[in-house]
C-alpha cells in the first residue's frame, strides 16, 4: 500500500470508511490518452460548435469557462481554439469496466453512480489489507493512473454525502479527507446549494429566511425549516446539514431509469421523420435495458420545441418490457396524443420504473409465435455485439443517411453504453437513488 498523500495527517482517517472516487474530466482524458498530441490543449467532448451540449471538457478548456452540460455553441465562443471531439462510448465503457475492477479488487462494496464515479465502503477491507483509508485511496489512484493513464479524485469521510462533497474539493487529481470529528467544520461554510435536494428554487426560498450556508441550515432548526420548505424536506436538509446520512453503500443498487435523447442539427416538423427518430431512440433504449437485465414499467416521451419549451408525457405499461417494439409503440402513441406540434429541437425516450428482468412478469399475447419479438431482439443484440451496432437495425432505418442529426448527444441514461458506429448518439447520464449526478468532473 502507498503512503498517505502529503498534507493528510496519519490517524485522522479513523472511522472514515466511505470513499467517493470520481474520474477527472473522464471522457476528455480518455480521448487525450489515445491522442497524446492533444495533451495540454483545450479539448471538448460532445457536440460541434453549432448545436448540442458539452459532455466533458479538459481542465485547459475549463480555464476558459467551458463546463459540462453547456451548449456547444457557447463553449465554442468561450474557447474557439478548443478541439471538439465526438464521444466514443465504447472506449469509455471499456475504461470504466477496468476502473471498477480496480475498485472491486479492494472491496466488494462498490456502488457505481455512472461510468466515471462510484462509492466504496472500505471499512471491512482495512484489516484485510493492513491499510488505512488514506493509504487505500492513494493505492486506488496509483492503480488507475498506471493501468488506464487517467486520473481520479477521492473524497474520504464517514458518510456517503460528505465523501461526495470531499471528492469535489479534491479535484483535480487529489484526495481530500474529512475527519469524523471535523464534519461540521467542513460543512458549515459551504453554500446551501451543496445539500442534496436544494435546487435554485429551494435556495431562493431559504435565502428569504436568511439561510445561505449549510451552517445556517443547521442553526435554523427544524421549526424554521418546516415553515420554509415543509416537513419532509426540512427533516432531510436538517440531517444532512449536521452530517447525518444513514445510507449505506449498496453494490446491488439499480438505476431508476434509462433512455436516450437527441438534439437535431435542424428542427424537425415532419411527423414521419419524428416517428423514425422515435424508433431509433426506442431501439437504443431497449438495448440498454436488455444489457442491464432490467425491464421498464413506464415509458416516457420528452419533446423540446424550437422555442426551448420542453414537455414530457408518460404511460405505465400492462407488464414490464425490455423490447424496443413496445417502447416505440407507446412513445409513438404519446407523440400522436400531442396533436399538431411546433418544430422539434430535441426528442427523447425514457424507460422508468425498472425491475430485474428475472422478476418481471411477461405478458402473454394470444396468437404470438413461440419465438417472437423477444427472441428476435435478443438475436439482434448478439449480432451487434459481434459485428457492431450498425450490423442489425430496424428495416425503416436501413440506408438512413441520418442527415438530421447533430453529432452531439444530450443526456441519455446508460452506464454500459453501446459502442459501434452510432456510439456518438448516447450520452451517459444515470438516474440513481443514491444521489443526483454532478456534471462530468
Q: What is the pLDDT of residue 403?
A: 38
Given the C-alpha cell 415553515, which residue does it identify? 227
Q: What is the pLDDT of residue 419?
A: 32
| Cis bond upstream, residue 172 (ω within 30) | yes
Q: What is the pLDDT of residue 129?
A: 87
Phi-psi bin for 434: left (phi > 0), alpha (psi -120 to 50), beta?
A: alpha
Strand ranges in 247-387 using DSSP code E only, listed in sequence order:
255-268, 294-305, 310-321, 344-356
Average pLDDT over residues 335-340: 92
Q: What is the pLDDT of residue 427?
A: 35
Q: Which fold has domain 188-241?
A: DNA polymerase; domain 1 (1.10.150)
DSSP element (H, E) containing 56: strand 54-57
Annotated binding residues, written as ranges, equal 22, 116
Check: CB of residue 178 under 8 Å from CB of residue 154.
no
Q: pLDDT tens, 271-327?
A: 999 999 999 999 999 988 888 888 999 999 999 998 888 899 999 988 899 999 999
Please give the CATH number for the structural domain made up of 1-180: 3.30.70.270
Average pLDDT over residues 63-85: 92
pLDDT higher than threshold 90 for residue 401: no
Domain range list for the chain: 1-180, 188-241, 255-432
pLDDT higher than threshold 50 for residue 369: no
Check: CB of residue 183 under 8 Å from CB of residue 243.
yes
pTM: 0.68
Q: How confident is the model at residue 411 (pLDDT cuts 50, 70, 90)?
A: very low
How many alpha carbons lie under 13 Å from residue 108 in its C-beta half-sphere? 3
Q: Which residues have a catalytic role annotated?
A: 117
Check: CB of residue 119 under 8 Å from CB of residue 18.
yes
Q: Please, what CATH class does the domain formed by 255-432 belong to? A: alpha beta
Q: pLDDT tens, 116-160?
A: 999 999 998 888 888 999 999 999 999 999 999 999 999 999 999
84: Cβ contacts below 8 Å, ≥ 6 apart: 44, 45, 46, 47, 48, 49, 72, 76
Given the C-alpha cell 453504453, which residue does it identify? 417
Question: What phi and psi, each to the nearest 5 degrees, are found at residue 167?
Answer: -65, -30
Annotated binding residues for Mg(2+), written as ranges, equal 22, 116
Q: pLDDT tens, 224-240?
A: 999 998 888 899 999 99
431: Cβ contacts below 8 Å, ≥ 6 apart: 255, 256, 257, 413, 437
Amino acid at each position: 500500500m502507498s503512503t498517505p498523500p502529503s498534507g493528510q495527517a496519519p490517524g485522522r482517517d479513523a472511522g472514515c470508511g466511505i470513499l467517493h472516487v470520481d474520474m477527472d474530466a473522464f471522457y476528455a482524458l480518455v480521448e487525450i490518452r489515445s491522442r497524446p498530441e492533444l495533451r495540454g490543449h483545450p479539448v471538448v467532448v460532445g457536440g460541434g460548435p453549432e448545436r448540442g451540449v458539452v459532455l466533458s471538457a479538459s481542465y485547459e478548456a475549463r480555464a476558459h469557462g467551458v463546463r459540462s452540460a453547456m451548449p456547444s455553441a457557447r463553449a465554442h465562443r468561450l474557447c474557439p481554439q478548443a478541439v471538439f471531439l465526438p464521444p466514443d462510448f465504447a472506449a469509455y465503457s471499456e475504461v470504466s469496466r477496468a476502473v471498477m475492477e480496480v475498485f472491486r479488487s479492494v472491496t466488494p462494496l462498490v456502488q457505481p453512480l455512472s461510468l466515471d464515479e462510484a462509492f466504496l465502503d472500505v471499512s471491512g477491507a482495512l484489516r484485510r489489507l493492513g491499510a488505512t483509508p488514506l493509504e487505500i485511496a492513494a493505492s486506488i489512484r496509483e492503480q488507475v493512473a498506471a493501468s488506464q493513464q487517467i486520473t481520479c479524485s477521492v473524497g474520504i469521510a464517514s458518510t456517503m454525502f460528505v465523501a461526495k462533497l470531499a471528492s469535489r474539493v479534491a479535484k483535480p487529481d487529489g484526495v481530500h479527507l474529512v475527519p469524523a470529528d471535523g464534519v461540521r467544520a467542513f460543512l458549515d461554510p459551504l453554500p446551501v446549494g451543496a445539500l442534496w435536494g436544494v435546487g435554485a428554487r429551494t435556495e431562493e426560498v431559504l435565502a428569504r429566511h436568511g439561510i445561505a450556508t449549510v451552517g445556517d441550515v443547521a442553526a435554523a432548526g427544524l421549526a424554521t425549516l418546516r415553515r420554509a420548505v415543509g416537513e419532509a424536506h426540512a427533516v432531510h436538509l436538517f440531517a444532512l446539514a449536521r452530517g447525518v446520512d444513514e445510507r449505506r453503500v449498496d453494490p446491488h443498487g439499480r438505476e431508476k431509469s434509462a433512455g436516450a435523447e437527441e438534439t437535431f442539427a435542424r428542427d424537425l416538423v415532419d411527423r414521419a421523420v419524428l416517428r423514425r427518430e422515435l424508433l431509433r431512440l426506442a431501439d437504443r433504449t431497449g438495448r440498454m435495458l436488455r444489457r442491464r437485465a432490467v425491464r421498464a414499467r413506464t415509458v416516457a416521451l420528452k419533446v423540446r420545441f424550437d422555442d426551448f419549451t420542453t414537455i414530457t408525457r408518460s404511460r405505465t405499461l400492462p407488464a414490464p418490457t425490455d423490447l424496443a417494439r413496445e417502447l416505440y409503440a407507446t412513445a409513438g402513441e404519446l407523440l400522436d396524443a400531442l396533436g399538431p406540434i411546433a418544430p422539434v429541437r430535441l426528442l427523447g425516450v425514457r424507460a422508468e420504473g425498472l425491475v430485474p428482468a428475472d422478476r418481471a412478469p411477461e405478458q402473454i399475447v394470444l396468437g404470438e409465435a413461440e419465438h417472437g419479438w423477444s427472441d428476435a431482439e435478443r438475436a439482434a443484440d448478439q449480432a451487434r455485439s459481434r459485428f457492431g451496432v450498425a450490423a442489425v437495425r430496424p428495416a425503416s432505418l436501413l440506408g438512413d443517411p441520418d442527415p438530421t442529426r447533430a453529432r452531439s448527444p444530450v443526456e441519455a441514461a446508460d452506464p454500459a453504453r453501446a459502442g459501434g458506429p452510432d456510439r456518438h448518439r448516447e450520452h451517459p447520464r444515470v438516474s440513481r437513488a443514491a444521489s443526483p449526478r454532478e456534471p462530468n468532473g
